[in-house]
Structure 1
């Protein structure tokens, strides 16, 4: 094999980077700006977590309340990046603690009575992953999400 021409003059990428110039896509104040944005969005209200889709990590809720007994479930009124599946209506006597078990077939729609509450499936608007349900009072119940510190 032939050796490279002028191998003594070969320069690595690191040697070509001028570290004295601030990188174009770097903002040292970005964390502070993000925190101000979220405080403004919440309008002074607190949240137990920020919820993300488990498949694509898209943020789906900035302000939610953790379930008292089932710590992997959350409820919220204000959501982002969510869509309702109007074609998939479920019926429950109440929002069941078994929702976190991925809506087992025994819970899916059957011949319902008047005391059953209808809920629609909620999907991530970015990737259509099923992340929860929304009830008739427009309260979102999340059970398939990734929580992070608010």
Structure 2
């Protein structure tokens, strides 16, 4: 068996199979055409102008294509991966689709009047799905008060 391993001959790659390092092809003496060392500062100035001095808990992006969806939002108090916003960009509302979200009464608490519990179970909001306008990924919903609720997004520091 050792003889078989020693008899195997490894062929060297032909010229078409040889790999060349990218570093060998890059001329570092020329400034890159698409590099701007000031771009982060310019983007920060633009974002502050759009927000008009208001604070945001995060900047929200699409989880699939990383398109910016919201520059000004509030994080949900209980569900820290959910956000709500009024002003959004690059979002489209699913027209023709309506999602019924019913309010559930709290468990373990008795209500004195049956009419209160009937109202709580009867309350339902008609919401529409919200998608990224670039890749059509479902990123949240919009409620009847036109408040966007994002639950499938990537947050980053604002």
TM class, shorter-chain normalised? 0.7 to 0.9
How much does 1:92 deviate?
2.1
How much does 1:19 deviate?
3.1
**RMSD of aligned C-alpha atoms?**
2.5
**8 Å CA contact 2:86, 2:146 repeated in 1:** yes
Counterpart CA distance in 1 for 2:58 and 2:29 is 39
**8 Å CA contact 2:103, 2:123 repeated in 1:** no
Residue 102 of structure 1 corresponds to which residue in structure 2? none
Q: With structure 2 as the length reference, what TM-score do the two structures score?
A: 0.70
**Equivalent in 113, 120, 132 of residue 128 of structure 2:** 120
Greater C-alpha Rg: 2
SS in structure 2 of the partner of residue 24 of structure 1: coil
How much does 1:37 deviate?
0.8
Counterpart CA distance in 1 for 2:32 and 2:149 is 42
Unmatched runs of 5 consecutive residues or more in structure 1: 5-11, 96-112
Counterpart CA distance in 1 for 2:22 and 2:145 is 58
State the 4+ residue runs in structure 1 displaced beyond 6 angstroms: none
How much does 1:143 deviate?
0.5
Unmatched runs of 5 consecutive residues or more in structure 2: 1-11, 16-20, 105-120
Aligned length, in residue pairs: 126
